[in-house]
Amino acid sequence: MTWKAWLGLAALSAFFCFRLGVSSRIKHHGPVNNHEWGTFPRKDDPFHFLPCTNATFPPSLDEAKPLEAWQRLSEPDPSKWLRGENEKDALFLCGWLDVPLDYTNASDERVMRISVARFQHHPKPSARTLIIQPGGPGGSGTWWVRAEGEKLSQDYTNSTFDVLGWDMRGTPSSQPAISCFPYSPVRDRWKMLTSLGYHEGDPRMSMLKADAFYEATFRECQRKYGDIPTMLTTPFIARDLEELRKALDEDELSGFFISYGSEIGQTYVNMFPNVVGRLILDGVQYQRNSRELAGYFTYSLDNVTAAYEDGFIGECIDAGPMKCALAKPLRDGLRAPTKEDLIATMDSLVKRAVERPIPGYTEESGPFIITGSILSAGLGDALNDPSSWSQVAEAFYSLLQGNATPMSTLVDDSWEYSPGSSNGDFPDHANFEMAMMIFCSDQYDSPLPPTFDVARNGEQWYLDLWKDMLDQTEIRGDWAFYATLPCRQYNATFGPPKELYRGDLNHTLSNPILLVSPTYDPGTPLRSGKRLLAEMGDNAKLVVHHGYGHTSLGDPSRCTDRWKREYFLRGALPENKETHCYADQKPYRYKD
């Protein structure tokens, strides 16, 4: 596990990547009897599925004969097919579906080629398919299927559903994929040069420099992709999902959507209320917040401080020095720290790094500096994933002892590109510019706040926003600000998005859905889940998951998982509007 939260949860984290080596988890089994499965791709399969190998990525849009090119990727030797870990006969299938690039213009023939992956138990598809969506925007659903499709099917559906994931429009293995930098290291370089923390310089100058960089970035995106950025919107993604459902030939959509995926989910069910089957949104964002200027990130910060103080710090002290390094005294002869002591110690460490960055070194990348904003961003990111806390606490303890190497090594993982580490079998991961196009389009027509000076494009308003975000949380304030600032340049560069969903979220659905919101979620706070629940009325129930981390996946609860299973298997929901479930274990003390 790296410092980058689980699945990086692709979390809201335009700025942080997810790069769990998937290759290590993918095992090939064989030899296996394949005659039941027949040959691939099957006739009339809209997804053109082939057994997944490390090369089954959709053919290029330039390919004159895509089906023939695809057929050449077919691996004839069944022993090389990717199979289930436990179910040796189940297969991982990879494919693609062409959907309209522009749903608003029937005479536009351009397509979006969506990359999909499916975990399928038997040669005959299961009656229901669980569609999974990891959020981001830009998290790879195909990656998630390959890494965890079998486990999700087991855990949530008693292995009765197949599992399908897709890479949302604009992300690397779907096409056209959006990437406005020719090489990831270039993006890293500029991001580093243009993301000073509020306290690390003159805030106005820092902001204007970053803003100029975002302007340059968006202009390049516009030059390279023309009108495509205006088609990266949540309702278009919801329409893609509807195309997937139709291609699956299932009457109802079943799915497990997390984080930003919850926004796709609530948009989808209100655009297509009659085909809703069993859908769980976990780590719930409230779509109406995203319609406001800077809304998504402003509303994400509710519980960051509590997650840090009660969670990362408080649980560390409770766990004690055998389980959490930071609970140890700093020097022999000192007493063990209290929660307040540790908060103060960490605070002064970050301040020290703001005043003068701490020199470091890594085996892989050589000389290094650890700045104050790196430390706070890293802490903020760690809050997504409590299972990373022991390791992060260890690195902080070493840093406090004067050894910067463990921290440098953790931080080194956060670059988009590192020549020393591989990205598994997957193409380059999603990037901030495509994620920003989606976030910024969501807030495109937001009414402007009264203090927004249009002539200066809200310069002072943005500076005040930065300060407000930091007042709310020193740990995530800078991160949230830089995640939202690019939108300042959206209007001028791209113009109106092709479609926005501005309707109510209380349509009467063919089946009610289930919401799950953690109490200490650093990105999608409980308040958002409650607001969505209030608007959806009888069309949803909420499980309040008392635990840490982003979504309920990082700090599991048998109770939460039981509701997920009951719902997927039997359509059963809790009776009460809100049900409370508690995490099974405590951070720093997980046994697995």
What values do phi and psi take at 317, rounded to 5?
-60, -45
Task: For 98-127, give the secondary structure using H, E and C.
Answer: EEECCCCCCCCCCEEEEEEEEEECCCCCCC
Part of the chain binding ligand NAG (CB under 6 A), chosen from 191-199, 265-273, 467-475, 506-514:
506-514
Note whether 148 binds ligand NAG by CB under 6 A: no
Smallest gap from Cβ 301 to ligand NAG, in A, equals 9
Note whether 306 binds ligand NAG by CB under 6 A: yes
Query: Which of 500, 19, 458 is CA-nearest to residue 238?
Result: 500
Q: Which of 347, 508, 562, 572 binds ligand NAG (CB under 6 A)?
A: 508
Map residues 96-125 to x or -, x wherever contact with ligand NAG holds by CB under 6 A: ---------x-xx-----------------
Site for ligand NAG, residues 346 to 375, rule: CB under 6 A: none
Note whether 302 binds ligand NAG by CB under 6 A: yes
**Residues 4, 18: contact at Cβ < 8 Å?**
yes
Q: Which of 47, 213, 225, 520 binds ligand NAG (CB under 6 A)?
A: 520
Smallest gap from Cβ 538 to ligand NAG, in A, equals 9
Smallest gap from Cβ 424 to ligand NAG, in A, equals 10
**Tally of CB atoms within 10 A around 425:** 16
Task: Please say which residue, 63 or 445, places its beta carbon nearer to ligand NAG.
Answer: 445
**Residues 519, 544: contact at Cβ < 8 Å?**
yes
Q: Do the strands 162-166 and 111-120 form a parallel or antiparallel pair, or are they unpaired?
A: antiparallel
Part of the chain binding ligand NAG (CB under 6 A), chosen from 180-188, 206-214, 410-418, 440-448:
440-448
Number of residues that bind ligand NAG (CB under 6 A): 23
Note whether 559 binds ligand NAG by CB under 6 A: no
Instruction: Name the closest residue to ligand NAG (Cβ).
Output: 306
Query: Which of 253, 232, 256 is CA-nearest to residue 244?
Result: 253
What values do phi and psi take at 342, rounded to 5?
-65, -40
Using DSSP's 3-state secondary structure scheme, residue 161 falls into: coil
Note whether 139 binds ligand NAG by CB under 6 A: no
Note whether 527 binds ligand NAG by CB under 6 A: yes
CA distance 136 to 170: 12
CA distance 299 to 530: 13
Note whether 401 binds ligand NAG by CB under 6 A: no
Part of the chain binding ligand NAG (CB under 6 A), chosen from 283-291, 362-370, 407-415, 505-513:
505-513
Residue 92 sits at the vertex; the CA angle it makes with 90 and 95, to the nearest 5 degrees, is 140
Q: Which of 414, 418, 519, 551 binds ligand NAG (CB under 6 A)?
A: 519
Site for ligand NAG, residues 255 to 284, rule: CB under 6 A: none
The one-letter code for the residue type at 443 is: Q
Part of the chain binding ligand NAG (CB under 6 A), chosen from 211-219, 340-348, 383-391, 441-449:
441-449
Note whether 69 binds ligand NAG by CB under 6 A: no
The one-letter code for the residue type at 455 is: A
Residue 7 sits at the vertex; the CA angle it makes with 6 and 13, to the nearest 5 degrees, is 95
Distances (CA, A) of 285 to 103, 267, 416, 448: 25, 11, 26, 22
Map residues 444-463 to x or -, x wherever contact with ligand NAG holds by CB under 6 A: xx--x---------------
The 111-120 sheet, strands edge to edge = 50-51, 91-100, 111-120, 162-166, 129-133, 253-258, 276-282, 513-520, 540-548, 578-582
Q: Which of 506, 510, 559, 589 binds ligand NAG (CB under 6 A)?
A: 506
Q: What DSSP assignment string belongs to 51-112?
A: E--TT--PPPTT-SSHHHHHHTT----GGGSBB-SS-TT-EEEEEEEEEES-TT-TT---EE
Task: Please say which residue, 54 or 398, places its beta carbon nearer to ligand NAG.
Answer: 54
Smallest gap from Cβ 394 to ligand NAG, in A, equals 26
Task: Please say which residue, 391 or 506, places its beta carbon nearer to ligand NAG.
Answer: 506
Note whether 55 binds ligand NAG by CB under 6 A: yes
CA distance 361 to 146: 35
Smallest gap from Cβ 54 to ligand NAG, in A, equals 4
For 4, the token pair is 């980058």
For 188, the token pair is 């890293």
Part of the chain binding ligand NAG (CB under 6 A), chosen from 115-123, 185-193, 380-388, 503-511:
503-511
Task: Please say which residue, 246 or 527, places its beta carbon nearer to ligand NAG.
Answer: 527
Q: Look up tokens 């500076």; give the residue.
A: 463
CA distance 285 to 71: 40
For 552, the token pair is 């309920």
Note whether 303 binds ligand NAG by CB under 6 A: yes
Task: Please say which residue, 55 or 322, places its beta carbon nearer to ligand NAG.
Answer: 55
Task: Please say which residue, 84 or 525, places its beta carbon nearer to ligand NAG.
Answer: 525
Part of the chain binding ligand NAG (CB under 6 A), chosen from 234-242, 275-283, 396-404, 501-509:
501-509
Q: Look up tokens 């000076």; give the residue.
A: 453
Smallest gap from Cβ 508 to ligand NAG, in A, equals 5
CA distance 179 to 164: 25
Smallest gap from Cβ 31 to ligand NAG, in A, equals 16
Contact residues for ligand NAG, defined by CB under 6 A: 54-55, 105, 107-108, 158, 302-303, 306, 425, 444-445, 448, 491, 504, 506-508, 519-520, 525, 527, 569
